[in-house]
Structure 1
Amino acid sequence: MATHSGTSSSPGSTTCPSGAGFDTTAAAVVLKLDPNVFHHGGLGVIRSLGRLGVPVYGVHEDALAPAAHSRYLHGRWLWRPEAADPDRVLDGLARLAERIGHRSVLLPTDDAGAILLAEHADRLRPWFRLPALARDLPRIVAGKDSLHRLCEEWDLPRPLTVLTDSWGEMLSFAAQVGFPLVAKLAAPWRSPAASGVRSTTIVRGGQELSALRRACDRAGGAALMLQEYLPGGPGSDWFFHGYCAADSTCLPAFTGVKERSYPAQAGLTSLGRCADNPVLRRQATDVLARLSFRGIVDLDWRRDERDGQYKLLDFNPRIGAQFRLLRDRAGIDVAVAAYLDLTGQAVPDGDPVVGRRFLVENYDPIAAFGDWRSGRIGLKDWAASLRGVDESAWFARDDLAPFGLMCVRMGWRAVTRPFSRSARSPRRQQPAYRPGRAGDSRGAVMSPGGQAAPGTGGGNSCIRQFGKDLA
């Protein structure tokens, strides 16, 4: 297995596969339904495919979304689609496809998008290239309770879990497994962003559990699943990223370690490392083959120090936000693999770059601060952990604008949040088109029907929108 010391490149390096041997004429569309403007996974897709020479188009919340200003983006649609209204989303996607003019590869970056595309694939295939995935599979595996029931049916290693709305049963489960325990929204894609309820929360006592239950009630009665907290120290949290072709062959198939996460011990990877783990890779690919899974997948596991087993915690039926960490020595990652396979091209087989490290600049300092407050890390330890980072989520020497906008918006949010009730721009019901930096930037702001998008053509309207977009 090829190894990598982590010193041959530095943050902002742009090692990528050469497009000389690939057909990159088909466009790719990055679909994001999650309204989080700081979601960095979509930017990773834009850069991976854009550097290859693929015309990439993205769906963005507003004109100042950091990813919308990547130099590798051909076109952007300012649109905030809602998964709760699939007909409107499908209509908007049809308008996108009409403007592109040919069948393009459609890549979702969140569970809501993956579920919607699978359940409406028949309507989308005339316009988009999609994996041939069972219609109900993404909803089953993305649902926390349905995933647990699947693991139970197949006798896969898993944490103890209960789904109940009974306060008495919650207390009984807490007494059985003890605190801390893990609380998860059973269907996190359904919870409104404004609810303030995270998809996963570490609960350290009865008062916290009661407060979380009340918050779920205020969010419309979101179903809450409780799970035992698996003990484990550094190196216990693992992830698997892969792409499964039509025959369920998983190529590539990467494994990595979460060195730090935000929120701590229950969130996304803020600092990660590619590490070869043949046992976990075999366990993951066996599950995917048994499911007949197709497409990109991101799985989260924890090694239980009590029995040494890897236990499946989360199954994301789409690209993971930290996927840029994991690539082979030719630069092939899961986004490139999906594009090649869906356009009828062979996916090269290569060794992963073991030791490669990835940093999310806006989240890792917050994660490290939490670890410092709890005594898990010191300032010198944090500084040392940042040495040898090979790639950052936002900073790239060849694509600086997204990093700059991310910093501005993070600063603006920090300043205004204490004085604001999180006012947001109204959702755009239909996508409004703007050329990207990689395309013709001289055109006016256009709607899919070819008309100037209302409220976006003049400088004054852009100025008026500025504060709302930054919020």
Structure 2
Amino acid sequence: MTTAQLDTTTPAVILKLDRNVMHHGGLGAIRSLGRLGVPVHGVHEDGWAPAARSRYLHDRWIWQPPAEDVEQVRDGLVGLAERIGRPAVLIPTDDAGAIFLAEHGAELRQWFLFPDPPSDLPRQLAGKYTLYQLCRQLGVPCPAAALTGSLLEAQRFADQVGFPLVAKLATPWRSASATGLRSTSVVHTRAELADTWRTCADQELMLQEYVQGQDYFFHGYCDTQSRCRPGFVGIKERSYPAHAGLTSLGRWVDNPQLHRQATALLTRLGFRGIVDLDYRFDPRDGQYKLLDFNPRLGAQFRLFSDTAGVDVVVAAHLDLTGRAVPQGSPRVGRSFLVENYDPIAALAYRRCGLDFRSWVRSLRGADELAWFAKDDLAPFGLMCLWMGWRAMTRPLRGAPRPVTTQPAARKARI
């Protein structure tokens, strides 16, 4: 990929509404476009968030509106657009942003370029139980699930499918941010189920059958015709939390069957934009079961950069600015490591036979790191400081700081 192939006169805005300073996906998007000469504006909750200090930022905007306040988010984005002064590609990195743009983005199209999926689709796909209902309606393989209204109902579901179970907040873009709860956890016993139910008593909790099998993920970008170009398949070799969380070590694989299954679903849904799907192979029936559908950028998307230098963020910018997306060759075997989470995940994977030497070899062989980059060192250093601060202060934390209602611009260091 060369700067001549991109419209570097059209800036990009990396939008994040969820309060998560450790979001490495946003940093990946900043680097991906910034290295190619695109002026990148990042929305951050803190001026010292690691991604906010990337050398590839043109401007950082310190802003954290409540995602459910439609008027405040809209007005803030309009203000941001007016300060940028020209149309910009808008890329959401979380469910809240993707849902907002689908449902309320019409008024923003004079300032921003972004895909237009059916307005009700991202909310339906991001919701855990609504996704399950949609899968049942369309005949898409997925694990059994239940939205239980009482602990007794939860225990009955556990009796039907057995332990372990997967417990998920049904609307994680609202519940997880507001409560600090994990959006997904594995429940092994009736006692753990009761404890999880009490912890989530004020939230909608979905229980899902736990499938014993290999985790896969699919990342892609769908154009205005819902054609997925490009699309990539990877496996989760390790995740945090173990077996039920984000990818801490992933690898690019060649899996034509899953690629066809995912792209056929996207076309059938009429989806448009960047997508991140989670699957698990079920050895009982030989099917790939859809676990999660994230209608936005996946945090590990930088694993998939083909021989043309195209990833899903580059593809989105090219397509939304009217440029052709080059067709590169896959780089099967390429790996991606998240430095701050994989050491923690590895402790849990010792039970599955991972020894220290094998873990060290996997670190040395990683092709792409979430944080460390020789040409952009500040985010890695700040990530280390944030992780240390979290470790020291987690038991002492109080209420979060008040949110900022309007975006404030701060010039990035170039």
TM-score normalised over the length of structure 2: 0.98
Query: Taking structure 1 as reference, are residues 160 and 192 closer, same or farther at Cα in structure 2, changes over 3 Å only?
Result: closer
Quick one: which amino acid aligns to residue 411 of structure 2? P
Equivalent position to 1:370, from 348, 352, 370: 348
More off after superposition, 142-151 vs 191-200? 191-200
Consecutive unaligned residues of structure 2, counting only runs of 5 or more, are none
Cα deviation, 1:96-124, whole Å, max 9, x if unaligned, reads 00000011000000001100111012111
Mapping of 1:158-177 within 5 angstroms? 158-177=142-161
Q: 2:309–2:328: 8 Å Cα contact kept in structure 1?
A: no
Residue 435 (structure 1) aligns with: 411
Work out the CA distance in 2 between the residues paired with 1:257 and 1:375: 17
Work out the CA distance in 1 between the residues paired with 2:289 and 2:46: 39
- Post-superposition shift, 1:62? 1.1
Work out the CA distance in 1 between the residues paired with 2:398 and 2:286: 44
Q: Note if 1:225 corresponds to 2:212.
A: no
Quick one: which amino acid aligns to residue 401 of structure 1? A
Q: Note if 1:298 corresponds to 2:282.
A: no
Q: 1:297–1:316: 8 Å Cα contact kept in structure 2?
A: yes
Quick one: which amino acid aligns to residue 208 of structure 2? Q
Mapping of 1:335-354 within 5 angstroms? 335-354=313-332
Query: Taking structure 1 as reference, are residues 375 and 355 closer, same or farther at Cα in structure 2, changes over 3 Å only?
Result: closer
Residue 421 (structure 1) aligns with: 397
Residue 95 (structure 2) aligns with: 111
- Post-superposition shift, 1:426? 2.0
Cα deviation, 1:131-169, whole Å, max 9, x if unaligned, reads 121111100111111111111011111111111212222
Q: Note if 1:408 corresponds to 2:385.
A: yes
Work out the CA distance in 2 between the residues paired with 1:375 and 1:109: 32
Aligned residues: 414
Q: 2:318–2:325: 8 Å Cα contact kept in structure 1?
A: yes
Consecutive unaligned residues of structure 1, counting only runs of 5 or more, are 1-16, 439-471
Mapping of 1:203-218 within 5 angstroms? 203-217=187-201
- Post-superposition shift, 1:20? 2.3
Residue 390 (structure 1) aligns with: 367
- Post-superposition shift, 1:194? 5.5
Q: 1:301–1:312: 8 Å Cα contact kept in structure 2?
A: yes
Cα deviation, 1:218-277, whole Å, max 9, x if unaligned, reads xxx211111110012xxx100000000001111101000100000000000000001111
SS at match of 2:247: strand
Work out the CA distance in 1 between the residues paired with 2:331 and 2:314: 16
SS at match of 1:162: strand
Residue 63 (structure 1) aligns with: 47
Indicate the structure (1 or 2) with the bigger Cα radius of gyration. Answer: 1
Equivalent position to 2:256, from 238, 262, 278: 278
- Post-superposition shift, 1:422? 3.9
Quick one: which amino acid aligns to residue 302 of structure 2? R
Work out the CA distance in 1 between the residues paired with 2:212 and 2:176: 31
Q: 1:325–1:358: 8 Å Cα contact kept in structure 2?
A: yes
Query: Taking structure 1 as reference, are residues 145 and 194 closer, same or farther at Cα in structure 2, changes over 3 Å only?
Result: closer
SS at match of 2:218: strand
SS at match of 1:303: strand
Quick one: which amino acid aligns to residue 228 of structure 2? C
TM-score normalised over the length of structure 1: 0.86
Work out the CA distance in 1 between the residues paired with 2:212 and 2:384: 35
Q: 1:195–1:215: 8 Å Cα contact kept in structure 2?
A: no
Work out the CA distance in 1 between the residues paired with 2:119 and 2:400: 33
Q: 1:109–1:320: 8 Å Cα contact kept in structure 2?
A: yes
